[in-house]
Amino acid sequence: MSVETQKETLGFQTEVKQLLHLMIHSLYSNKEIFLRELISNASDAVDKLRFEALSKPELLEGGAELKIRVSFDKDAKTVTLEDNGIGMSRDDAITHLGTIAKSGTADFMKNLSGDQKKDSHLIGQFGVGFYSAFIVADKVEVFSRRAGLAASEGVHWASKGEGEFEIATIDKADRGTRIVLHLKSGEDEFADGWRLRNIIKKYSDHIALPIELPKEQAAAEGEEKPALEWEVVNRASALWTRPRTEVKDEEYQEFYKHIAHDYENPLSWSHNKVEGKLEYSSLLYVPARAPFDLYQREAPKGLKLYVQRVFVMDQAESFLPLYLRFIKGVVDSNDLSLNVSREILQKDPIIDSMKSALTKRVLDMLEKLAKNEPEQYKGFWKNFGQVMKEGPAEDFANKEKIAGLLRFASTQEEGGEQVVSLAEYLARAKEGQDKIYYLTGETYAQVKNSPHLEVFRKKGIEVLLLTDRIDEWLMSYLSEFDGKSFVDVARGDLDLGNLDSEEEKKEAEEVAKAKEGLVERIKTALGEAVSEVRVSHRLTDSPAILAIGEQDLGMQMRQILEASGQKVPDSKPIFEFNPAHPLIEKLDGEQSEERFGDLSHILFDQAALAAGDSLKDPAAYVRRLNKLLVELSV
């Protein structure tokens, strides 16, 4: 190798310095993971070369046999990993090895807790696997040349993981990357063929690329060292092409960690081969935890796309709808062209068929998880529930299936956990109940104690309590489930249908007729503040509530529109009062119209507060209340 030129010393990005400090102080409880990460990166580099070589075959430079080699030197205490993939230019090395090139970097550093076990789950989700080399090495050297560049444009990168790195231009005859790890004192165990072979079999057997180690052999007579021979130590076949019966759970789990850059096992997976009109294989995974960028629209998402075992695209978004963006996996098609692009994917009718089938496959996998592993599904829902709630609006064809996977808090469950399915709700519905009742609000405490629930408590009818910001929007797309329609208990004129007896209905009509005068009087007092005043069928304990008109927006939707800068249509609430409440009886007997007006406004404002709304004129409410208190104390 020629003399280094253009040598310079550069500083790591701040986040990398912090990360290296964690790595060097044994962030991983399992040190051997460094080899998995470096092999995974090498595999990605080969995949990228394969893809670029489809349009530029000259990049293969005559070396079309793609592989990864791992070797060691006991005397020098080094482990070397070499690939003949895409390689790096000088700029690539500075960018990829000097920074954590991910949008979630700030989130990553913010979420580090200092607890080694917890923090180990965060590595890899941010593309920082290369730095795991510093767990076992006190110096790391990288020799690389990007395919297509001249031999004189090789690069040598070196660092001791202490805040800076050196970079120089070198001659490198072959494309690809060679990483040399100078092992720390006490890490000599990794400069051993048997140890390296076991790590590769354990973590990287699924890599669809030969991983070679030097053959252990004795020197011939008169030779100091035997000639180096290599042998493949992994299966080197694409895991998704193998029959399911031949793949162990551990292999599926390690493959997931490889493609998802995750450090936890997946919750579930589905491996299928489709033959017939369309031919493709798919391997889909449900992660155990949400990535930090789940709600960032620009965050990378989608499946790894292969065409006839050739890697084509890292994040192919067209195969699953957006609400399933957390699903990881691989799809390998025999029907697509090798020069496929994102634009072609969006227009290809084959993709629509595959997307429909893969979406159903994921929903079936989630149904199975919910049925067979309810505790695991509970964890899934905590992580991905809000994303799943986007489904009914986005995927009309599977609306009923998605609805079956939704989970809600309810008046039957303590603590506000979202654990109730719609099927469970209907299974314990009252005889004669043909509706699914729900109430939306800002917090669990607010909806749980809402006056709107009083009649439901009295009759023992379960109500779903919806407090996620997306819930009111969700319910605008869910009209029914299993033939039963949804009813917002705070909207319109509540009709309990068969759940009210004929006597109760008749009594309600008589009371409403008897209170027509009071209705008119309150309507006059409240004026433009309300759209309507009526006797309530909802209340048993509270004096009054505010109901929403059938076509009006609820509070959640109003807040979403306001936050996005959209104009919110004007609407006025319906004021309902409980004729049996002592305050209403007092109001009915009030002779002074001024005092009647003050009392009516106080009841209106109290009902608004109970609904979680803010008062339009808090000063007027306080003034009226103080006036009433003074009168009562005289």
Q: How far apart are CA 456 and CA 437, in angstroms?
A: 9
Which helix (H) or strand (E) segment is 69 a member of?
A: strand 68-73
The predicted pLDDT at position 125 comes to 43
Q: How far apart are CA 360 and CA 376, in angstroms?
A: 20
The DSSP secondary-structure symbol of 29 reads S
Kindly report, residue by residue over 125-155, the tens digit of the pLDDT: 444 578 888 889 999 999 999 999 999 999 9
Mean of per-residue pLDDT scores for the chain: 84
The full set of domain ranges for the chain reads 5-236, 240-381, 394-495, 502-633
Q: How far apart are CA 94 and CA 156, in angstroms?
A: 11
Residue 1 confidence class, pLDDT cut points 50, 70, 90: very low
In terms of DSSP H, where are the helices of 56-161? Answer: 90-98, 105-111, 116-119
Q: What is the mean pLDDT of residues 532-548?
A: 88
Q: How far apart are CA 332 and CA 452, in angstroms?
A: 53
Hey, how many other C-beta atoms are within 10 angstroms of the C-beta on 277? 8
How are beta strands 574-577 and 176-183 bridged, if at all? unpaired
Q: How far is CA 490 from the centre of its chain?
A: 31
Tell whether the torsion through CA atoms of 595, 600, 603 and 604 is positive or negative. negative
How are beta strands 68-73 and 78-83 bridged, if at all? antiparallel
The predicted pLDDT at position 121 comes to 45
The letter for the amino acid at 388 is M
The letter for the amino acid at 135 is I
Kindly report, residue by residue over 181-231, the tens digit of the pLDDT: 999 999 999 999 999 999 998 888 878 889 999 987 655 555 566 667 899
CATH of domain 394-495: 3.40.50.11260
Q: How far apart are CA 434 and CA 496, in angstroms?
A: 9
Residue 103 confidence class, pLDDT cut points 50, 70, 90: very low
Q: Give the SS3 label for residue 41.
A: helix
Is the pLDDT at 120 greater than 70, yes or no? Answer: no
* Highest mean pLDDT (candidates 83-97, 365-379, 568-582): 365-379
Tell whether the torsion through CA atoms of 92, 93, 96 and 98 is positive or negative. negative
The letter for the amino acid at 106 is A
Q: How far is CA 435 from the centre of its chain?
A: 32
Q: Residue 543 to residues 510, 528, 537, 601, 632: CA-CA distances in angstroms?
A: 19, 21, 12, 13, 19
CATH of domain 502-633: 1.20.120.790
The predicted pLDDT at position 54 comes to 82
Strands (E), 441-565: 464-466, 480-481, 484-488, 532-535, 544-547
Kindly report, residue by residue over 588-608, the tens digit of the pLDDT: 888 888 889 889 999 989 888
Tokens of 1: 């190798």
DSSP secondary structure string, 368-383?
HHHHH-HHHHHHHHHH
Whether 174 and 1 have beta carbons less than 8 Å apart is answered as no
Query: What is the C-alpha end-to-end distance of the chain, expressed in Å?
Result: 101
The predicted pLDDT at position 462 comes to 94
Pick the CATH number of 5-236 from 3.40.50.2000, 3.30.565.10, 3.80.30.20, 3.90.480.20: 3.30.565.10
Residues paired with residue 351 on neighbouring β-strands, in sequence order: none
Nearest to 48, CA basis, from 87, 102, 10: 87
Q: Give the SS3 label for residue 70.
A: strand
CATH of domain 240-381: 3.30.230.80
Hey, how many other C-beta atoms are within 10 angstroms of the C-beta on 10? 14
For residues 190-223, b (16+ Cβ closer than 10 Å) or e, as one string? bbebebbbebbeebbbbbbbbbbbbeeeeeeeee
Q: How far apart are CA 121 and CA 104, in angstroms?
A: 15
The predicted pLDDT at position 107 comes to 52
Q: What is the mean pLDDT of residues 50-63?
A: 84
Q: pTM for the full model?
A: 0.74
Is the pLDDT at 531 greater than 50, yes or no? Answer: yes
Longest CA–CA separation in the chain, Å: 122
Q: How far is CA 88 from the centre of its chain?
A: 32
The predicted pLDDT at position 617 comes to 85
